[in-house]
Amino acid sequence: MKPLSNLLSSIPPSATLAVSDKAKALKAAGRDVISLAGGDPDFDTPTHITQAAIAALESGDTHYPPSRGTAPILKAVANKFAREYSMEVDPAKQVLISPGGKFLVYAAMAALCNPGDEVIIFEPYWVSYVPIVKLVGGTPVTITLRASDNFTITADDLASHITPNTKAILVNSPSNPTGRVITAAEAEAIRQAATENDLYVVSDEMYEQLIFEGEHINLASLPGMADRTVTINGHSKAYAMTGWRLGWAVGPANVMGLAAKLQSQSVTSAASFTMAAGAVALDGPHDIVEEMRVSYKARRDFMVPALNAIPGVECESPQGAFYLFIRFPGLSEDSMEIADILLEKAEIAATPGIAFGQAGEGHVRFSIATAMSELERAVERIKKLMANL
Ligand SMILES: Cc1ncc(COP(=O)(O)O)c(C=O)c1O
């Protein structure tokens, strides 16, 4: 038999999906596993959103929709940009609705990269960035951010990694896995690097509505950035809609045109009735989103001191998203080993930090998009584990 794709063979499957699938299999086999591995809110999608999907289905909205997205959701995204970032966006040419934000990161990168183009990625990074850049023929160039510096992005780091081949900078704020929210100074360093070196920026703002401290900065709306920035966002996290597979991107018309071409020649479109619900989510009342945010914050405010009170465990308080990036110096510096011990001895599924790049080594990631009762049980198990070493 002839060999299969070398490129795809060289790319690992998503580590977070692998760990959460393993936890699901152990649970199905009767083990009392507490799964903190995935990034899936424990809340159900708010009722006014599910009702909109049901109404769309019942009214016969079950046919091929326009590939780039239906008019109401394209308009809802443009309205959000006008309302929140004072940015005028052409819904027909600058917005793309896709089945999930992950596909939009892929589509944006595919639109930007020629073989050998370098894309700057800050490490620790969300697990899919490096594979996606490789899949489109680009070269990931990582900048290591250090826990000891509070994962701060600096102009010097950017300057020393930009080469004539650099095409884009990939930014994720709030960050998965560290929970860091970029400051105005960091945003300015990125803006200057991009404008002075003629670079694109792909700004993954998936956790934008889940901030506990700090202010969200939409990079596209900074001076000189609208023509070079693709903003990626989606419904999964803020509206508890992971299973719906719905995301949106906004960017310059030429980039979004190519991304839309990739969509039309591959997945075609997002689903018709999910877009109907997605428009309602964007336009509709946001008090439920705020309730979920407050609940994640309460979980963070319980977990961080509870973990730090356990000898041999260290955890910074994240400013946003819904993850804790935890060290277990009392257990090991090897993140795979920590995750294995947690699973085997405490029946807690966590994602090893190495999945987020070398800079994630020594950490594991817990998702706090998990019921408080489960988090309380996890803390008790960790207390017992660490006491019995
Ligand atoms: C930083 C970040 N970006 C993008 C995504 C993609 O989300 P989705 O494809 O569900 O919209 C995720 C999901 O975990 C994420 O954490």
Q: Where residue 160 falls among pLDDT bands split at 50, 70, 90?
A: very high
pLDDT at position 128, please? 94
Which CATH number does the domain 6-45+287-387 belong to among 3.40.1000.10, 3.20.20.150, 3.90.1150.10, 3.20.20.70? 3.90.1150.10
Digit-coded pLDDT (tens) for 54-63: 999 999 999 9
Domain with CATH 3.40.640.10 in the chain: 47-283
Reply yes or no on whether the pLDDT at 12 is more than 90.
no
Is the pLDDT at 17 greater than 80? The verdict is no
Q: What percent of the chain has pLDDT over 90?
A: 91
Distance in angstroms (rounded) separating the CA atoms of residues 349 and 343: 5
Does the structure show a pLDDT above 80 at 18? no
Question: Ligand 1 mean position to 167 CA, how many Å?
Answer: 22
In the block, residue with structure tokens 């997205």: 69
Q: 63-107: per-residue pLDDT in tens?
A: 999 999 999 999 999 999 999 999 999 999 999 999 999 999 999
Yes or no: is domain 47-283 CATH 1.20.1250.20?
Answer: no
pLDDT surpasses 80 at 286: yes
Cβ–ligand 1 contact at 176 (below 6 Å): yes
pLDDT at 233: 98
Distance from C-alpha of 366 to C-alpha of 295, rounded to nearest angstrom? 16
Q: Which are the contacts of 14, defined by CB distance < 8 A and separation ≥ 6?
A: 127, 128
Chain region(s) in the chain for CATH 3.90.1150.10: 6-45+287-387
* Mutation to probe ligand 1, out of 237, 248, 263, 322 (largest number of atoms < 8 A from CB): 237
Helix (H) or strand (E) holding 315: strand 314-315
The residue whose CB lies within 8 Å of the most ligand 1 atoms, and thus the one to mutate among 121, 172, 176, 368, is 176
Closest Cα partner for 101 from 182, 203, 194?
Answer: 203
